[in-house]
Structure 1
Amino acid sequence: MRRLTPALALGLAALLVGTPAAAGTNTGTRNSYGTKATYAPGQNPRSYQRPPAGFTPVFTENVSRHGSRAATDGEDADLVLALRKKAEAAGALTAKGRAFGPKVQALQNAMSTVGYGDLSGRGKREIHDTAVRMQQRLPGLFQRIAGDKEKIDVVSSGQGRAVDSANLYAAALAGTDPALKPLIGPTRTDVDLLYFHKAAGGAAYRDYIANDQRLASTLKSITGQPTTHRAARDVLKKLFKGAFVDRLADDDRVAAATAVYNLYAIAPAMSDESPGGKGWGMERFISKRDAAWFGYLSDAEDFYEKGPGFAGADITYKMADVVLDDFFKKVEAKRAGTGDLGAELRFTHAEEIIPLAALMGLPGSTKGATAEQPYTYADNPWRGASAAPLGSNIQWDVFRKGDTYLVRMLYNEQETAFRTGCRPIAKGSSFYDLDELERCFGRAGSAS
């Protein structure tokens, strides 16, 4: 959700009126965490379809979001602790409010130690384990890569947590077979490819975020619903006495409750750093109902700013074509014999995974919102926790028999059909002929 402006943040801390309060942790539904949901593979590896007879793996490529991380800054915890201090001075803490402060301080200390925005212990494990599972899915491919001395290219957005994820992934692959280590190139940076929302190709998108009045008014109308104000009061009254909460302005109550929610949402990503590794217990301080509502508000913002967005408009995801184009180019080079890669590994952010999913028409990312039917959970399947959890990934595995190349897509390690209109080799199959995918995605003239 949108951050507080520095002026509002200072105002909240300065007044007896506003600064945020507590947070929750791990007993809400997965959707309530939005894109801060931690990673889990989407399918049991024993249930993957086998490639058709005679087809062997010859190439794999992915694009992955970095793993679980600390919050990108300490703003939410600072605001919450400042408001709690004022409530304590006023004798306005509830029993939960008294217990809450030490929890937030400990979480903040842990995030500061990890480094704001950096991978947590859990995030490092997520990336390592995903790499190991890739090798286990495709043992024949990696034996071939080692035997033929093919290269493994590793590329990131250049941002610290993406670079760290790339390096950890590469190291985990090398750990499965030391013969791969000399074949893995140093992690290189490609901002245009993997940080496109901030690169030259994202100029129109940035203008949309900054200046589009329909976007601004839509998000304001969603956030401004009476349910938001009810939920904000409910969150704060668990921590502070009613008279104290009532003295806060409406917008400040929402800002404070949002900070509580943000701490709730990030806490599972920091589970390894919690006392005894048992979690932070932040779910004690926000009800499931209120966490779900603020999770919906967070999802609504991501939906309109990064995902399917408004029906009939592609400003939020058109720029992701650079990544899809790179996927096709790498497979086509393998088919043409002009590439020397056995694997292409890319590491990026939610701002790239979410629009790519919408561009590709992946499950849950196919339906834009209209003025008559704005985004709600009731009528749209998009969920941040499914579209781009921490560590989320899209992978294409390529199989060859003679001159025929088949592609299987995994989305968060679950076999996933390509978009409507793309025909698999047989009904219900997860395998698609490369020529068919080129036709389906309009890559005229690319087929051999």
Structure 2
Amino acid sequence: MKRVTPVLALGALLLAALPAHATGDGPARRDGYGTKAVYSPGQDPRTYRRPPAGYTAVFTENVSRHGSRSATDAEDGDTVLALWDRAAADGQLTRLGAEFGPDVRALEAAMSAVGYGNLSGRGKDELRATAVRMDKRLPGLFSSIARNGEKIDVVSSGQGRAVDSGTVFATALTDADPALKTAFGPARVDKDLLYFHKSAGGADYQKWLAGDERLASTLESVTDQPATHRAAARVLGRIFAPAFVRRVTGGEFSAVASDITAAEAVYNLYAIAPAMSEESPDGRGWDFGRYLAPRDAAWFGYLGDAEDFYEKGPSFADSDITYRMAGPLLDDLFRQVEAKRDGTGTLGAELRFTHAEEIIPLAALMGLPGSEKPARPGRTYTWADNPWRGAGVASLASNIQWDVFRKGDDYLVRMLYDEKEIPFKAGCKPFSRGSTFYRLGELEKCFDRR
């Protein structure tokens, strides 16, 4: 998140939008965690629709984000502890603030033990549970894979947490059905497919991200405004005495943090804490919610969403630079199903493990729910007028799955997003009215696959 000149009108609009999103413990509270929200399956498996009569599952594939993880580094903890130690020495902590430093040190110790950026216990549980539900959703498929000697391919971005996610997922499937052990070959790495935002194929995107003036000015206008400074003061005021907050705001500790970066660091620890719940002292979670009021957590959650929306998601209405590089991944989804139809493939399942930087553009490219609407010309993305939410688009362990069914020479595809049945984009005609099953040929036509 970057800083520039305050934008009063935008701040007023965003504040007006907050009450509907900033209170309670349900979906609105979840929004405040952004893409660090922990995973929650979107549908009760018992409510899945049955495929049309005569159709049998013959293939499944996914694109999954890695599971819950620790923070990628110690920067946020180091930032707030440097301020906390100074305030403690000066006698400038609130009663609640006196508990903050020890809590941060305990969380940082837990993340260091897991390894920064690595899967947490909760992350492994998320992946195991998703794999078991996949097996139960398609029991006939996995039995036939084992019986017919078909293969299951596991491919990842090559980053540790994605590699480990694939291993945990595959192990859970074989634990659920030991006959599948021979179906798995060596796991593969394909950076161009599953880490495209940093591969050669993303060169244009990388150049745009680093140097686009409109992107930079838009994000700066969102972040550095009076509403953000007020939220930062409230966050810091829970931990530090008013005189110390004024010193931070006045720039005395600018070598450590500004008021906004300090408050962002507190928020980032709050946001990552649920992903580390199993590593908490009692195994029940960390109580970092007491250090931010719900409205302030929502505000900083919104700022994170704005950054992800513009840098990775639907972004500006006149540009597709953020998501067109997901084209090869969408092509691969189709290619695997077409190979099954054409009899040229040997796979019963294709399992891919990647990152939010790939899930978010893929969702925008496919027009998945919440990712259909870019920012209108002259209008800034807000929670008030756009449904895009990081927690809904690409939470930790989020996934897109295609199940394929056959009847004779006819193939149907069903899509699940975070395990919820969803329709394909507008313009794609389902098998029957209101169905979530689509003929492969219809999808090829709808997505203009020639």
TM-score, structure 2 normalization: 0.92
C-alpha separation in 2, matches of 1:313 and 1:48: 36
C-alpha separation in 1, matches of 2:149 and 2:62: 20
Residue number in structure 1 paired with 2:430: 424
SS in 2 for 1:112: helix
SS in 2 for 1:276: coil
C-alpha separation in 2, matches of 1:431 and 1:26: 30
- 1:26 and 1:281 in contact (8 A); partners too: no
* Map 1:111-122 → 2, pairs under 5 A: 111-122=111-122
Give the CA RMSD over aligned residues: 1.4
Residue number in structure 2 paired with 1:21: none
Residue number in structure 2 paired with 1:329: 335
Residue number in structure 1 paired with 2:276: 270
1:134 corresponds to 2:134: yes
Deviation readout 1:297-345 (Å, 9 max, x if unpaired): 0000000000000012100000001110000000000000000000000
Cα distance, 1:354 vs structure 2: 0.3
1:259 corresponds to 2:265: yes
Residue number in structure 2 paired with 1:386: 392
Residue number in structure 2 paired with 1:345: 351
Residue number in structure 1 paired with 2:215: 215
Match of 1:301 among 307, 330, 344: 307
Cα distance, 1:27 vs structure 2: 11
- 1:94 and 1:239 in contact (8 A); partners too: yes
Residue number in structure 2 paired with 1:187: 187
Cα distance, 1:26 vs structure 2: 11
SS in 1 for 2:445: helix
C-alpha separation in 2, matches of 1:89 and 1:362: 51
Cα distance, 1:2 vs structure 2: 6.4
Residue number in structure 2 paired with 1:80: 80
Residue type of the partner of 1:381?
Answer: P
Residue number in structure 1 paired with 2:444: 438
Residue type of the partner of 2:350?
Answer: E
Residue type of the partner of 1:440?
Answer: C
Q: CA 1:176–1:71 in 2, change beyond 3 Å: closer, same or farther?
A: same
Residue type of the partner of 2:322?
Answer: T
Match of 2:286 among 280, 292, 297: 280
C-alpha separation in 1, matches of 2:377 and 2:218: 9
Cα distance, 1:415 vs structure 2: 0.1
Match of 1:319 among 309, 325, 341: 325
Is there any run of 5+ residues in structure 1 with no aligned partner, and where? 4-24
- 1:26 and 1:283 in contact (8 A); partners too: no
SS in 2 for 1:234: helix
Indicate the percent of aligned positions where both proteins have the same amino acid.
67
Residue type of the partner of 1:427?
Answer: R
Match of 1:292 among 291, 298, 321: 298
Q: CA 1:49–1:28 in 2, change beyond 3 Å: closer, same or farther?
A: closer
Residue type of the partner of 2:234?
Answer: D
C-alpha separation in 1, matches of 2:287 and 2:27: 9
Higher mean alpha-carbon deviation, 174-183 vs 66-75, is at 174-183
SS in 2 for 1:144: helix
C-alpha separation in 1, matches of 2:57 and 2:2: 44
1:101 corresponds to 2:101: yes
- 2:2 and 2:219 in contact (8 A); partners too: no
Residue number in structure 2 paired with 1:10: none
- 1:331 and 1:398 in contact (8 A); partners too: yes
- 2:162 and 2:353 in contact (8 A); partners too: yes
Residue number in structure 2 paired with 1:35: 35
C-alpha separation in 1, matches of 2:246 and 2:123: 39
Cα distance, 1:373 vs structure 2: 1.7
Cα distance, 1:173 vs structure 2: 0.6
C-alpha separation in 1, matches of 2:26 and 2:147: 45
C-alpha separation in 2, matches of 1:187 and 1:164: 10
4+ residue stretches of structure 1 with deviation over 3 A? 25-28
Cα distance, 1:89 vs structure 2: 1.2
1:161 corresponds to 2:161: yes
Residue type of the partner of 1:102?
Answer: P
1:414 corresponds to 2:384: no
Deviation readout 1:364-394 (Å, 9 max, x if unpaired): 0001103422100000000000000000000
1:357 corresponds to 2:354: no
C-alpha separation in 1, matches of 2:438 and 2:70: 39
Residue number in structure 1 paired with 2:381: 375
- 1:196 and 1:202 in contact (8 A); partners too: yes
